[in-house]
């Protein structure tokens, strides 16, 4: 127990303050002593909290997304046409010396045409009118370096070949330049589907195969 000096009862051996200034010094000394007896403040170290995990790349919600594979029957964003059934499919008589294969997918049939030089025969079928006759004809013209035409030019270029499957609209274009390309293509609507029968390649072999191609078009039938 600490003994606090009292002005009327001085502690033996202690100096007795005298005068007002001495009493003020005594009070100040008591305040300093009391401050030293305050409780010591204890500091604590808090462990840092781990930062939240960053969201996966490409996703602001924290979950990753991957592009799903195209569903069956799709090639990118373009739907694959259904394979025509027997009642819907066109048939034809193959010209002499020609051979054919049926790869499936966008190309229903491929013709191997005899001759020297680049030449390719194909049959493609698409649902509906496949975008319309004029856009398709202009796409073909672009394939051999020709500019687009209009409805009047389309009508002027059109010829017709009749068959048991119906009338086919035929277009024949030759490119410009030193090395010429030629394209002969027919469009026929069957049961609401568009059929495109095309012969394209170097101008000379396509020109030589033209009579046989028109013969094939005239043989088209469905039974």
Q: Determine the pLDDT at residue 20.
A: 52
Residues 28, 200: Cα–Cα separation, whole Å: 113
Cα 154 to Cα 86, 90, 136, distances in angstroms: 32, 25, 11
Per-residue pLDDT for 135 more than 70? Answer: yes
Per-residue pLDDT tens digits for 61-102:
232 323 333 333 333 333 444 555 544 689 999 999 999 999
Q: How many CB atoms lie within 10 A of CB 215?
A: 15
195: which DSSP letter?
E
User: Which of 134, 128, 121, 95 is CA-nearest to residue 197?
Assistant: 121
Is 140 in contact with 147 (CB distance < 8 Å)?
no
103: which DSSP letter?
-
38: which DSSP letter?
S
For 81-218, which CATH class? alpha beta
Listed by start position, the domains of the chain span: 81-218
Token pair for 152 = 């009047």
User: 216 falls in which pLDDT band (50, 70, 90)?
Assistant: very high
The whole-number average pLDDT for the span 196-221 is: 97
Per-residue pLDDT tens digits for 21-72:
554 555 455 544 444 444 444 444 444 444 444 433 333 323 232 333 333 3
Of 67-76, 102-111, 126-135, which gets the smallest average pLDDT? 67-76
Per-residue pLDDT for 210 more than 80? Answer: yes
Report the SS3 class of residue 168: strand
At 170, which helix (H) or strand (E)?
strand 166-174
Is 184 in contact with 198 (CB distance < 8 Å)?
yes
Q: Determine the pLDDT at residue 87.
A: 47
């Amino acid at each position: 127990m600490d003994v606090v000096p009292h002005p009327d009862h001085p502690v033996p051996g202690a100096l007795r303050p005298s005068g007002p200034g001495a009493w003020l010094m005594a009070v100040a000394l008591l305040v300093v002593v009391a401050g030293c007896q305050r409780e010591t403040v204890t500091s604590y170290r808090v462990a840092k909290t781990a930062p939240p995990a960053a969201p996966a790349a490409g996703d602001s919600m924290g979950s990753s997304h991957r592009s799903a594979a195209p569903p069956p029957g799709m090639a990118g964003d373009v739907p694959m046409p259904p394979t025509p059934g027997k009642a819907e499919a066109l048939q034809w008589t193959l010209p002499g010396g020609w051979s054919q294969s049926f790869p499936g997918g966008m190309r229903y049939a491929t013709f191997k045409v005899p001759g020297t030089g680049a030449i390719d025969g194909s049959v493609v079928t698409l649902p509906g009118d496949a975008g319309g006759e004029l856009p398709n004809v202009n796409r073909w013209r672009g394939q051999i370096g020709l500019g687009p035409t209009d409805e009047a030019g389309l009508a002027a270029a059109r010829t017709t070949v009749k068959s048991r499957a119906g009338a086919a609209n035929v277009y024949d274009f030759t490119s410009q330049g030193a090395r010429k390309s030629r394209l002969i293509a027919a469009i026929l609507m069957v049961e609401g589907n568009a059929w495109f029968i095309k012969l394209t390649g170097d101008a000379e072999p396509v020109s030589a195969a033209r009579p046989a191609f028109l013969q094939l078009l005239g043989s088209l039938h469905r039974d």
